[in-house]
C-alpha cells in the first residue's frame, strides 16, 4: 500500500485561481472546426451551422477562453479571407496541415460561436508570412467601434458592435523550423515588439502574449525567452509555453510523471523572465500563457528540432482526419496531474489552453453526421475547471516515491487544492501514479472547521477494462467518474484511499476557523 501525508493550511496560499487557466484551443486543423464545432446540415446544427451537441459538451467541459485560429495554421493565414459574404471567400491551400481551407468559417463565425459557448476569444495574429500592418489592421477590424475602413467593414459584415477581443497571441511557435516564417530570437523579438506597439496604438487595452519556446527540448530553450523578452518586455504581458506528453516505449513511469517536466518548464520560464526583469530594471512581472498542452501520441520520428512529425496525405483535401488520438485511463490520469501542475503555479501561469477542443488531440470527439462524446481526458478537465475556485492552496506533500527513467524519484501521489471561501469549500485534486497499489492519503487541514464531504469522485480502470480502455463511438461511457467511497473527516484530519492508477476530486464543507 502506498502512503501519502498532506498538510494544508488556510494561510498557505498562492493567490486566486486564474479564470483563464482552463482554456482550450480551436485551430483550423483536421476536424476541429469543420465537422467539429461547425457542421451545417448536421441534425444537431443550429441556424449558423454550429453543432449544438458539441456546444453542450463544451459548456460541460467548462473551458473559459479559447485560442483561435492556430497554431501552425495561423502562420500562413490571411484573416481577411475568412470575413465577408461566404460565397466570395477564397479557397486556399493551408501548407501547415496540407489541407484545402474553404474559409467558410472565419472570425465572425468564431466570435459568434464563442458567445453561444460562453467563452472568451484569444486571437492569434500571423507573424510568419505576414507582419505588423496585418496585425494592426486586424485589431482595428475587431475592436474599433467604427468610422474607419476596417471597422466599417466589420459593421458591413454584420457586427455593428466591436468584438472587444482582449487577449492576443503575437504569432505561434516562431522558433520552430516547421513554422512558416520561422525567425531567430532577435528577429522575432523585434517584430513582436513592433507588432505589439502598433496593435496597442489601435487599442491600448489589449493583453499580449509573446511566443516562448515551442517546447522545453528546443536547442534555444531559455536563451530564446531571454532574447525575446529583452526586446519586448515592456510591450507584452505574457510569454507562452507549449508541451505535449506521451508514453514512449512502454515507459509508463516517466509518462505518469509528466507533470514533473511541466513544473520544471514553468519554473524555468518564470526564472528567465524574472532575470530579464532584474537586468532591465523593469517593474512589472511577465506571466506565463501555457497556451498549448496535452497528451499527444506522435510517430516516433520526432527530434528536438522537429517535435511533431505528422504523416501527410499525398492529396489535398478539406478537413482530413489528423491526430485524432483516442485516450485511455493512463492519459486521463496524466492530464489530471498536468492540471495540478498548472494550478500549483497559478501565481504565474495566468492563461493555459489544452490543445485542442474537438477531434484533434481533444477531450471531445464528434463524427460527421453522427454523435459527439467525451474522451477520458474530458473528466479531469471538466471537474477541475468546475471546482477549482477561490484561492490556490500550497499543499505540503510527503508521499511514497517511485523511480522513473527520465525524472529520478517522483511522488506516487500528486496533489493540488483550492479554498473557495465564498461557498465554504475546500477541493482536493489527487492522482495515484502507481499502477498496482492503492494509496492511503492522510490529510491535515489547518485553519478550517470541516463539515461534510460534499462530493468525492474517482476515475480509474473500469471493471473488465485495463489502463488503455478508452471511450469510443460504440462505447462512449466506458471510462468516467464513479463515487469515491470512505472519505472520512475527523476534526482537521481527512482520510481517503485512491485506487491504483486513478485521478480523484474531493470537495469538503469548510469554514474559516
Ligand atoms: O496543436 C497542434 C500543433 O502543435 C499546433 O498547431 C502547433 O502550434 C503545435 O506545434
Q: What CATH number does the domain containing 446 carry? A: 2.60.40.1180
Out of 355, 358, 359, give the residue to mutate to test ligand 1, the one with the largest number of ligand atoms within 8 Å of its CB. Answer: 355
CA-to-CA separations, 14 to 289, 393, 410, 463, 489, in angstroms, rounded: 17, 6, 23, 38, 25
Asked whether 175 lines ligand 1 (CB < 6 A), one says no
Q: Are 329 and 431 in a shared domain?
A: no
- State which of 387, 403, 438 marks the end of a domain: 387
- Whether 47 is catalytic is no
Q: Ligand 1 centre from 82 Cα, in Å?
A: 20
Determine which residue's CA is closest to atom 7 belonging to ligand 1.
Answer: 71
Render pLDDT for 407-446 as a digit per residue (tens, 0 to 9): 999 999 999 999 999 999 999 999 999 999 999 999 999 9
Closest CA to 54 of 26, 80, 76: 26
Determine which residue's CA is closest to atom 1 belonging to ligand 1.
Answer: 355
* The total number of residues written for the chain in this structure: 513
Cβ atoms of 51 and 93 closer than 8 Å: no
Strand bridging mode 364-366 / 372-374: antiparallel
Q: Which of the following is catalytic: 27, 173, 225, 247?
A: 173
Q: Where are the beta strands (DSSP E) in 119-226?
A: 120-125, 167-170, 207-210
Closest CA to 435 of 408, 412, 409: 412
Asked whether 241 lines ligand 1 (CB < 6 A), one says no
- Whether 173 is catalytic is yes
- State which of 331, 357, 387 marks the end of a domain: 387
Q: Which of the following is catalytic: 101, 109, 140, 292?
A: 292
Q: Are 79 and 221 in a shared domain?
A: yes
Cβ atoms of 67 and 26 closer than 8 Å: yes
Q: What is the pLDDT of residue 376?
A: 98
Q: What pTM value is reported for the model? A: 0.97
**Dihedral (C-alpha) 279, 280, 286, 291: value to the nearest 10 degrees?**
-80
Q: Are 374 and 442 in a shared domain?
A: no
Determine which residue's CA is closest to atom 8 belonging to ligand 1.
Answer: 71
Written as nine digits, the cell of 20 is 483563464
Q: Which atom of ligand 1 is nearest to the CA of 172?
A: 8
Pick out the chain residues at pLDDT < 70. Answer: 299-305, 307, 309
Q: Are 119 and 81 in a shared domain?
A: yes
Q: What is the pLDDT of residue 301?
A: 66
Q: Ligand 1 centre from 160 Cα, in Å?
A: 33
Cβ atoms of 172 and 77 closer than 8 Å: no
Q: Are 137 and 245 in a shared domain?
A: yes
What is the rounded CA–CA span in Å between residue 413 and residue 419? 20
- State which of 350, 370, 387 marks the end of a domain: 387
Q: What is the DSSP secondary-structure string of 464-503?
A: T--TT----SSSTTSS--EE----EEETTEEEEEEPSSEE
Cβ atoms of 210 and 228 closer than 8 Å: yes
Q: Which atom of ligand 1 is nearest to the CA of 361?
A: 1
The domain in which residue 418 lies consists of: 2-9+391-512
- Burial class of residue 43, CB neighbours in 10 A (0-12, 13-18, 19+): exposed
CB-based contacts of 19: which residues, under 8 Å, 6+ apart?
Answer: 64, 65
Q: Ligand 1 centre from 72 Cα, in Å?
A: 6
Written as nine digits, the cell of 493 is 484530519
Asked whether 292 lines ligand 1 (CB < 6 A), one says yes
Q: Which residue bears the cell 517522483? A: 410
Asked whether 390 lines ligand 1 (CB < 6 A), one says no
Q: Are 341 and 433 in a shared domain?
A: no
Cβ atoms of 341 and 352 closer than 8 Å: no
**Dihedral (C-alpha) 412, 416, 417, 418: value to the nearest 10 degrees?**
-170
When divided into structural domains, the chain yields a total of 2
Amino acid at each position: 500500500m502506498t502512503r501519502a501525508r498532506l498538510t494544508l493550511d488556510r494561510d498557505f496560499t498562492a493567490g486566486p485561481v486564474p479564470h483563464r487557466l482552463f482554456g482550450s484551443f480551436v485551430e483550423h486543423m483536421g476536424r476541429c472546426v469543420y465537422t467539429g464545432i461547425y457542421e451545417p446540415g448536421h441534425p444537431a446544427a443550429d441556424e449558423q451551422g454550429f453543432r449544438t451537441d458539441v456546444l453542450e459538451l463544451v459548456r460541460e467541459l467548462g473551458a473559459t477562453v479559447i485560442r483561435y485560429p492556430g497554431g501552425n495554421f495561423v502562420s500562413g493565414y490571411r484573416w481577411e479571407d475568412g470575413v465577408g459574404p461566404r460565397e466570395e471567400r477564397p479557397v486556399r491551400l493551408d501548407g501547415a496541415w496540407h489541407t484545402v481551407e474553404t474559409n467558410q468559417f472565419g472570425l465572425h463565425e468564431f466570435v459568434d460561436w464563442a458567445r453561444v459557448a460562453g467563452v472568451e476569444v484569444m486571437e492569434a495574429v500571423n507573424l510568419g508570412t505576414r507582419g505588423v500592418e496585418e496585425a494592426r489592421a486586424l485589431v482595428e477590424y475587431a475592436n474599433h467601434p467604427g468610422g474607419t475602413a476596417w471597422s466599417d467593414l466589420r459593421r458591413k459584415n454584420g457586427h455593428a458592435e466591436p468584438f472587444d477581443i482582449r487577449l492576443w497571441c503575437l504569432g505561434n511557435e516562431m522558433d520552430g523550423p516547421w513554422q512558416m516564417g520561422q525567425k531567430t530570437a532577435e528577429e522575432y523579438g523585434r517584430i513582436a515588439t513592433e507588432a505589439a506597439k502598433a496593435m496597442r496604438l489601435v487599442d491600448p487595452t489589449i493583453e499580449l502574449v509573446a511566443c516562448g519556446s515551442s517546447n522545453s527540448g528546443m536547442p534555444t530553450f531559455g536563451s530564446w525567452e531571454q532574447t525575446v523578452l529583452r526586446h519586448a518586455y515592456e510591450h507584452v504581458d505574457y510569454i507562452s509555453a507549449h508541451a505535449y506528453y506521451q508514453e514512449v516505449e512502454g515507459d509508463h513511469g516517466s509518462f505518469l510523471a509528466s507533470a514533473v517536466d511541466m513544473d520544471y518548464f514553468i519554473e524555468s520560464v518564470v526564472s528567465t523572465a524574472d532575470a530579464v526583469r532584474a537586468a532591465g530594471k523593469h517593474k512589472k512581472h511577465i506571466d506565463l500563457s501555457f497556451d498549448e498542452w496535452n497528451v499527444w501520441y506522435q510517430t516516433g520520428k520526432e527530434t528536438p528540432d522537429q517535435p511533431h512529425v505528422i504523416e501527410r496525405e499525398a492529396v489535398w483535401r478539406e478537413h482530413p482526419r489528423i491526430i485524432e488520438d483516442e485516450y485511455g485511463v493512463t492519459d486521463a490520469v496524466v492530464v489530471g496531474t498536468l492540471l495540478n501542475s498548472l494550478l500549483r503555479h497559478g501565481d504565474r501561469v495566468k492563461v493555459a489552453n489544452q490543445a485542442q477542443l474537438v477531434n484533434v488531440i481533444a477531450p471531445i470527439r464528434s463524427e460527421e453526421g453522427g454523435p459527439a462524446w467525451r474522451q477520458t481526458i474530458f473528466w479531469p478537465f471538466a471537474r477541475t475547471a468546475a471546482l477549482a475556485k477561490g484561492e490556490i492552496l500550497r499543499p505540503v506533500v510527503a508521499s511514497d516515491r517511485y523511480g522513473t527513467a527520465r525524472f529520478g524519484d517522483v511522488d506516487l501521489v500528486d496533489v493540488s487544492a483550492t479554498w473557495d471561501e465564498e461557498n465554504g469549500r475546500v477541493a482536493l485534486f489527487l492522482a495515484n501514479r502507481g499502477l498496482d497499489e492503492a494509496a492511503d492519503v492522510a490529510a491535515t487541514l489547518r485553519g478550517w472547521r470541516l463539515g461534510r464531504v460534499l462530493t468525492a469522485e474517482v476515475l480509474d480502470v473500469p471493471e473488465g477494462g485495463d489502463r488503455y480502455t478508452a471511450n469510443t463511438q460504440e462505447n462512449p461511457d466506458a471510462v468516467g467518474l464513479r463515487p469515491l467511497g470512505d472519505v472520512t473527516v475527523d476534526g482537521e484530519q481527512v482520510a481517503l484511499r485512491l485506487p491504483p492508477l486513478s485521478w480523484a476530486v474531493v470537495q469538503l464543507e469548510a469554514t474559516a476557523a
